[in-house]
Amino acid sequence: MKLKHHDRYDYSPLRGRPDYAWPDGKKLAIYVALNLEHFSFGEGLGAELAPGGPPPDVLNYAWRDYGNRVGAWYLLDVFDALKLPVAALVNSAMYDYAPQLVAAHRARGDEIVGHGRTNAERQGTLDEAGERALIAEATARLAQEEGRPPQGWLGPWISQSPLTPDLLAEAGYGYLLDWCMDDQPIWFNCRGGKRLLAVPYPQELNDIPAIVGRKVGASDFADMIVDQFDEMLALAETRPLVMGIALHPYLVGQPHRLKHLKRAFLHILQRRDAIWLTTPGAIARHCASLPAGIVP
């Protein structure tokens, strides 16, 4: 029986892959991805603090809006105090709703990553023309505001159609973050002979699946980050690895969670000299600079 396959990459066991290193001989790359998202009022998708009632769902809309108005600014204070680089995953609707927040990340020199138009929609449900238009609209707005198009993309709700990697490669993207199948970057095959790098993006160290989905507490989520870091630092002695931390301001920007998140960051930063504290775009550029065949 032959199962349907995506044909984007071949199976490649972690053991036995070509060895390489990150800049300065580091073996563990770490990045923080902060999702900056805006939602349509009274319609569309969105994470829920409590089961939503009939529209307009004021409770859940306002809870998510807390992230842009308050939680993200608390997080910026932490990032600044710890000199922590960040990749801001930006809905293009943020430029109309909360431009000051995106500007604050731009001023820090953070990487701005494409994240669709709004997280009130999924791109994977669209036909090819509709999805191409979504990617083009979001990309054009980010390029207009940032002075250059984004290098990377994360689909709203990790939503992809069978053609998404092709459309991203054709739109000029260099990497995507949607696939969580590896702890090393992997090259994707795309139509027309193009290729796209899949940079590891976490679904375990991600506050939505952990806190909203599994109801993990603030201290436990911080402990997960600490334990992942300690173990991956040891595992990276024999191979290069990527550890991502995916955050949403309406979750970890809540003070009772922020307290524990700071503890996890401080633990990681005790070993700042032993790790490459970076962004997914820098990881993608480094992989693209390696000789052919090194990255699977």
pLDDT tens digits, 126-153 = 999 999 999 999 999 999 999 999 999 9
Section 247-271 average pLDDT = 98
User: Hey, what amino acid is at 118?
Assistant: T
Beta-carbon count within 10 A of 169 CB: 22
d(CA 115, CA 119): 8
Q: Which pLDDT band, with edges at 50, 70 and 90, does 244 fall under?
A: very high
Using CB atoms within 10 A of its CB, is residue 111 exposed (0-12), middle (13-18) or buried (19+)?
buried
d(CA 178, CA 188): 12
User: Hey, what amino acid is at 187?
Assistant: W
Question: Quick check: 103 pLDDT over 90?
Answer: yes
Q: Which pLDDT band, with edges at 50, 70 and 90, does 111 fall under?
A: very high
Name 169's Cβ contacts closer than 8 Å, sequence gap at least 6.
188, 190, 191, 192, 194, 195, 196
d(CA 149, CA 171): 10
Beta-carbon count within 10 A of 283 CB: 26
Beta strands in the chain (DSSP E): 28-36, 87-90, 111-114, 152-153, 175-176, 186-189, 195-198, 241-247, 276-278
Question: Quick check: 43 pLDDT over 90?
Answer: yes
Q: Does domain 28-39+53-289 have CATH number 3.20.20.370?
A: yes
Query: 107 is written with which tokens?
Result: 């001023």
Distances (CA, A) of 126 to 4, 33, 114, 161, 224: 21, 26, 18, 8, 35
Element (H, E) at 59: helix 58-66
d(CA 156, CA 40): 13
User: Hey, what amino acid is at 57?
Assistant: D
152-153/175-176 β-pairing: parallel
Using CB atoms within 10 A of its CB, is residue 16 exposed (0-12), middle (13-18) or buried (19+)?
exposed
User: Hey, what amino acid is at 192?
Assistant: G
Q: Which pLDDT band, with edges at 50, 70 and 90, does 78 fall under?
A: very high
Q: Which pLDDT band, with edges at 50, 70 and 90, does 53 fall under?
A: confident
Q: How far apart are the first and last CA of the chain?
A: 26
List phi, psi (to 5°) of 272. -55, -35
3-class secondary-structure state, position 33: strand
Beta-carbon count within 10 A of 88 CB: 23
Question: Quick check: 52 pLDDT over 90?
Answer: no
Residue owning tokens 């842009």: 68
Could you tell me if 187 and 295 are in contact, meaning their C-beta atoms sit under 8 angstroms apart?
yes
Query: 114 is written with which tokens?
Result: 């494409």
Average predicted confidence (pLDDT) for the chain: 97
pLDDT tens digits, 176-226 = 999 999 999 999 999 999 999 999 999 999 999 999 999 999 999 999 999
Listed by start position, the domains of the chain span 28-39+53-289
**pLDDT number for residue 114:** 98
pLDDT tens digits, 147-175 = 999 999 999 999 999 999 999 999 999 99
**pLDDT number for residue 89:** 98
The model scores a pTM over 0.75: yes
